[in-house]
Amino acid sequence: MVFWKRKRAAAPARTLWLVKDDPEGSWWCNCPQGIVDAPMHDKQTWPTGGEGWLFTCIRCEKAFMFAKAVRIRPTLEELAERCTPRTEDVGSPDSLELRTDVLMAGPQDWLAVVRPHANGLVEGQRYVFFDGRVLPAVHGPVKFRGLWRNHDLPDLPHIAEDPGVHDVLNDPRYWAAEMGE
């Protein structure tokens, strides 16, 4: 006697969140659907290393520049459970000691970072991460107060056609400038 199993319908995508949008395949994450981890950095990370302007993948933890807001199956709460606790190994250049810092101890920490970004997303829009903000990847002036400094640029450095604007991402002098009031 043969029993036919019905295929269960896949759960509908229900959560608007960011996934890798890298049609050129020019970044490090090669996951088929690189879901964005909590986009964050703080005064302990140096933005020229990419922490201040790249997204990271939840699965492989590798970086990429562009993400798109799409509907995904897991909820933000389910992603938060997968992504915490989140730690970082930190070494001192003066010694060989290595310590582990806890960046996000539990799901509520992850959600506290993610929810403000998720609330402003528009489905289908392409985004970049820049100095603590998730911004639409569209041409035009960029003016805001970031974690590291005030920005007043003619275009997003991620998409600027002028190499001088693009170069600010890797320029320590730009990031080290005093934050004006």
What are the tokens at 119?
A: 């609330």
pLDDT digits (tens, 9 = 90+) for 29-84: 888 888 998 887 766 667 777 777 889 898 888 888 999 999 999 999 999 888 77
Residue with tokens 């395949």: 25
Residue 28 has pLDDT above 50, yes or no: yes
The residues near 141 (Cβ < 8 Å, ≥ 6 apart) are 152, 153, 154, 155
What is the C-alpha to C-alpha distance for residues 43 and 142, in angstroms, rounded to an integer? 21
How much is the average pLDDT of 85-114?
69
What is the C-alpha to C-alpha distance for residues 157 and 137, in angstroms, rounded to an integer? 10
Q: Of 13 and 48, which is predicted with more confidence?
A: 48
121 close to 68: Cβ distance less than 8 angstroms: no
pLDDT of residue 115: 94
Residue 113 has pLDDT above 80, yes or no: yes
pLDDT of residue 181: 45
pLDDT digits (tens, 9 = 90+) for 124-140: 999 999 988 999 999 99
Q: Which of 143, 114, 149, 154 is nearest to 131 (CA)?
A: 149
Residue 123 has pLDDT above 50, yes or no: yes
How much is the average pLDDT of 134-163?
92
Going by pLDDT thresholds of 50, 70 and 90, the confidence category of residue 121 is very high
Neighbours of 112 (CB within 10 A): 13
Residue 86 has pLDDT above 60, yes or no: yes
Residue 117 has pLDDT above 50, yes or no: yes
The residues near 127 (Cβ < 8 Å, ≥ 6 apart) are 18, 66, 67, 68, 69, 121, 134, 135, 136, 137
What are the tokens at 25?
A: 């395949």
